Amino acid sequence: MHLRKNRGWQSSYPLTTELVTRRQFLARAGMGAAALGLAGNYPLNVAAAEKKNFPKGKAEHCIFLWLPGGMAHVDTFDPKRLGDPAKRIAGSAYPAINTAIRDVQVCEHLKHTADILDRFVLLRTVNHTIIDEHSAATNFVHTGRRPTGTIVYPSIGSMVAHQLGTAGSGIPPYVLIGYPNPMRGPGFLGAKHGFVYLTDTEKGPAGLTRPDYLTTMRVSDRENLLEKMRASYRAQHANDKAITEYDDAITGTFSLAKGDFMKAFNLAAEPSSLRLSFGDEFGQRCLLARRLVQTGVRFIEVSFNLNFINGTGWDTHNQGQKNQHILIQQLDQALSQLVLDLEKNKLLEKTLVVVASEFGRPPEFDAGGGRGHWGKSFTIALAGGGLKSGQAIGITDELGKLPIEDPISVPDAHATIFSALGINPAKTLHDGDRPVPITDMGEPVRKAFA
């Protein structure tokens, strides 16, 4: 009996992000029993899961473009019949256009991306039942799990950093271009697998550039003094894992400041015509992401959260909808140029580009002509990474409210990303002596792989 694949949903069917096969149900039941100490063969079940075949892409790096606030899927990658915000007629706000994929359309403001959509895989039926509130949904999409009182789960970026490691001395595995946030953090994996963050694409991470008034000798004296203090304190707390991990992170930070990593932030080294082609702030972040891939960074999250022309960003309630098209055009310019630039530099096959939000938005308009929150169906776009590109996976209903074919849970989306990076999504890690699978029983979307 198969409860998940290739079966449509009726409107009366209760939406869930965890539609499972009989096999998955039994596996989860076994894990639940194990957590209660009732399943003596649980390690064998884990071993069997880890040996499970999973599809593999060719990616060695991931650029995760984050659109905070909730990108309206019906106004971007999953257009429906044309609505009218002024008259509150449900539907898409913009006409749809054809793309490089036959019978697949996107909104008219994604015209550059439409021309190269054959490099993409659109996951159009991602869904969750998390309360439609930004913080909870953002945490869920980043970690793939609901919060608990016993485990702090790592973000997808930290998980990739943990599994793939550093690509070279003085190169961090995980960089966040945006504001720091615990939801992007390493959780139980420890500080070593956290992010290096920045908001200024020209200067790089704060604290890694030496102020002009400090001479090399003064910096060396400070480092020597700090090293003695660190060694003494670490020796006094030799059994404190948190202190050990934090001290290791400090060591890594020093190596970043002295290596080739900081050279990536010299965007002026790129031709001015190329910089112009990427667009303004968000585009420059995307260009920097490509340069960071070239240095060896494994996971780069690029947040589209500065200088919103509509005042609300992707959270398009009320008047936020009015200039949403300009945001979409900025995304279109940066995204299409990033994919083409990666391709030109022979990096697209080994770099997975992900476009994601915490949820989508409903087809109905509010009293101000904007849209609310909608987690029951939305789109995550993937490009590159050796995937079977040139397709849209999953079909939503006539207004984009519910999946009717191939629903994809957030853990499934995580499993797909991990598989594209060659990471076994069924592998088990440990928080102390507690086994924690990399994904919450997520299944990779096999149609996305050749």
Tell me the mean pLDDT in the region 126-138: 94
Question: From residue 149, how far is each of 146, 152, 199, 271 by CA, in Å?
Answer: 10, 8, 32, 50
Tell me the mean pLDDT in the region 177-194: 93
Share of the chain above pLDDT 90, in %: 68
Q: What is the structure's pLDDT at 12?
A: 35
Q: What is the structure's pLDDT at 170?
A: 87
Domain chopping of the chain, boundaries: 22-209+260-448
Q: What is the structure's pLDDT at 167?
A: 87
Q: What is the structure's pLDDT at 247?
A: 64
Q: What is the structure's pLDDT at 111?
A: 98
* Radius of gyration of the CA atoms of the chain, in A: 23
By the 8 A CB rule, do 124 and 139 touch?
no
Q: d(Cα 115, Cα 336) in Å, to the nearest integer?
A: 9
Q: Which pTM was predicted?
A: 0.83
pLDDT band at 22 (very low <50, low <70, confident <90, very high): very low
Q: Express each pLDDT in 294-344 by its tens digit.
A: 999 999 999 998 656 666 889 999 988 999 999 999 999 999 999 999 999
Q: What is the structure's pLDDT at 185?
A: 96
Residue with tokens 């892409």, as numbered in its chain: 57
Q: Express each pLDDT in 194-222 by its tens digit.
A: 999 998 887 777 655 656 665 667 656 66
CB-based burial of residue 231 (10 Å sphere; 0-12 exposed, 13-18 middle, 19+ buried)? exposed
Q: What DSSP string runs through 332-394?
A: HHHHHHHHHHHHHTT-STTEEEEEE-S-B--SS--TTS----B-SSEEEEEEETT---SEEE-
**Does position 228 have pLDDT exceeding 80, yes or no?**
no
Share of the chain above pLDDT 70, in %: 78
By C-alpha distance, which of 196, 178, 187, 184 is closest to 252? 196
Residue 309 or 66, more confident: 66
Q: Which CATH architecture has domain 22-209+260-448?
A: 3-Layer(aba) Sandwich (3.40)
Q: What is the structure's pLDDT at 243?
A: 74
**Does position 35 have pLDDT exceeding 50, yes or no?**
no
Q: Express each pLDDT in 241-275 by its tens digit.
A: 667 666 666 655 555 656 678 889 999 999 999 99
By the 8 A CB rule, do 444 and 416 touch?
yes
Main-chain phi, psi angles of 374, to 5 degrees: -155, 105
Lowest mean pLDDT among 91-100, 202-211, 256-265, 426-435: 202-211
Q: Express each pLDDT in 364-409 by its tens digit.
A: 999 999 999 999 999 999 999 999 999 999 999 999 999 999 999 9
**Does position 27 have pLDDT exceeding 50, yes or no?**
no
